[in-house]
Structure 1
Amino acid sequence: MLQFKLVLLGDSSVGKSSIVHRFVKDSFDEFRESTIGAAFLSQTIKIEDKTNHNETVVKFEIWDTAGQERYKSLAPMYYRNANAALVVYDVTQQDSLAKAQGWVTELKTKVGEDDLVICLVGNKLDLCEGETTPKAVDSKQAQEYAQEQGLLFHEVSAKTGEGVKEMFQSIGEKLYESKKQELSMAKARQGAGGDTGNVQLQRPSTNDATSCCG
């Protein structure tokens, strides 16, 4: 099994917690309270190696960070040593993409991009299905930015579940590819039929009660 630390970043009310709960618990709460500090959840998926058709279990250890400005200083504690980051924006808020771009810049500056998979995520697609709430962030604009920055890009709806599983699957596949050689070497050391090994993570350590709510 491969274990990867994944962190969600983005401003308050873009739906980070809703995305995580849709992925982990397949549920949606219309009146979910804002995250305080950060919340921790985990979920596994299976990745199929297209070359040999073997399956590998990938476990995401997910840190869902608070978007409020007063908690922003805590963010580096959670994205440090991360393998992947979801940077979430609200497709119905025009300035939301610019704020997400600020998070991408911070990640690339403070974490680097060599070993970090970053996915730009436009949430709340369900609100744009009718004519009452038009999409304020152009998909093409966001996708072009993601391509320029070397990011994965997905638009999702945490409310309906549209695109959520596919997004995490694509992140898992990219992380698996990045660790494929390391995994093969571990298998070779252990011999045929041995354990696939683990990629160990360093979790942020804190005794602050405000940063560990479930």
Structure 2
Amino acid sequence: MDKRLQVRKSSICKVVMLGDAGSGKTCLLRRFMNDMFDASTQPTIGAAFGTKTVMTSNNGPVSLQIWDTAGQERYQALANLYYRNANAAVVCCDLTDLRSFERLEYWIKQLRNAEKGCKIYACGNKADLIWDGIKNRAVTLQDLQIFQTKVFETSSKMSYNVFQLFQMIADDLEPVENNSSVSTQVNVNAVEKQNEKKCC
């Protein structure tokens, strides 16, 4: 039986966006937050953060606190700072890039080791590239189902299934009394400086 997410009665949900660089995480977040798309979006450095309230039928308003994490290899060692207390994770790949799909196993393993109770949503993004004949499909929905998570095929450009994805995350909440806060404070600038010191 699929367990619902458990968060405190304040109906706050921490969501992390995971996946390799170029898988479309930032574009998904921007489409959801501001209903905008920019094809020239640059890769996230460190992490970005946004909050948006979603109305649900069962739980009333739910505040989604969304962390967009960097997918570049040099930032991956820092990713578990953002996993902490996450209620949900959107793990993204590019539907036209087999390598980004193969890397999902790494991201999901890291997440489950850090936050065993975190609900995972596998997201195959950039469906518009297939529809427009720009690139060939490399990943199917059946491929994504091997991770035994809820699966979405999305297009940030066409606004396809983006709002439905985050609506499902909010709808899956089950408020629980006296649960600790899901909010995690991370100083992104400090994290980036720490990473620069390690760089040769």
Task: Indicate which of 171, 174, 177 corresponds to 1:173.
Answer: 171
User: Where do 5+ consecutive residues of structure 2 fail to align?
Assistant: 1-9, 194-200
Do the aligned partners of residues 209 and 69 (structure 1) sit closer, same or farther apart at CA in structure 2, a change above 3 Å counting? closer
1:194 is matched with which residue? Answer: none
What's the CA shift for 1:130? 3.2
1:76 is matched with which residue? Answer: 80
2:98 is matched with which residue? Answer: 94
For 1:201, the aligned partner's letter is V
What's the CA shift for 1:200? 2.7
For 1:25, the aligned partner's letter is N
Q: Do the aligned residues in 1 keep the contact of 2:83 with 2:114 (CA within 8 Å)?
A: no
Q: Do the aligned residues in 2 keep the contact of 1:77 with 1:204 (CA within 8 Å)?
A: no
Number of aligned positions between the proteins? 183
1:135 aligns with 2:116: no
2:147 is matched with which residue? Answer: 146
What's the CA shift for 1:209? 6.4
More strand by share: 2
Give 4+ residue runs of structure 1 displaced > 6 Å after superposition: none
Deviation string 1:120-150 (CA, Å, 9 cap, x unpaired) is 100000000033311111221212x133xxx
Deviation string 1:150-207 (CA, Å, 9 cap, x unpaired) is x111010011110000011111111x2x33xx26xx8xxxxxxxxxxx9732313335
Do the aligned partners of residues 80 and 199 (structure 1) sit closer, same or farther apart at CA in structure 2, a change above 3 Å counting? closer
CA RMSD, 1 decimal? 1.9
1:97-136 equivalent positions in 2, closer than 5 A = 97-112=101-116, 115-136=117-138
What SS does structure 2 have at the residue aligned with 1:7?
A: strand
1:20-39 equivalent positions in 2, closer than 5 A = 20-39=29-48
1:5-44 equivalent positions in 2, closer than 5 A = 5-44=14-53
Task: Indicate which of 181, 192, 200 corresponds to 1:210.
Answer: 192
1:201 aligns with 2:182: yes
Distance in 2 (CA, whole Å) between partners of 1:141 and 1:75 is 25
Q: TM-score normalized by structure 1? A: 0.80
Identical-pair percentage:
36
1:4 is matched with which residue? Answer: 13
Q: TM-score normalized by structure 2? A: 0.85
Distance in 2 (CA, whole Å) between partners of 1:139 and 1:205 is 34
What SS does structure 2 have at the residue aligned with 1:208?
A: helix
What's the CA shift for 1:98? 1.1
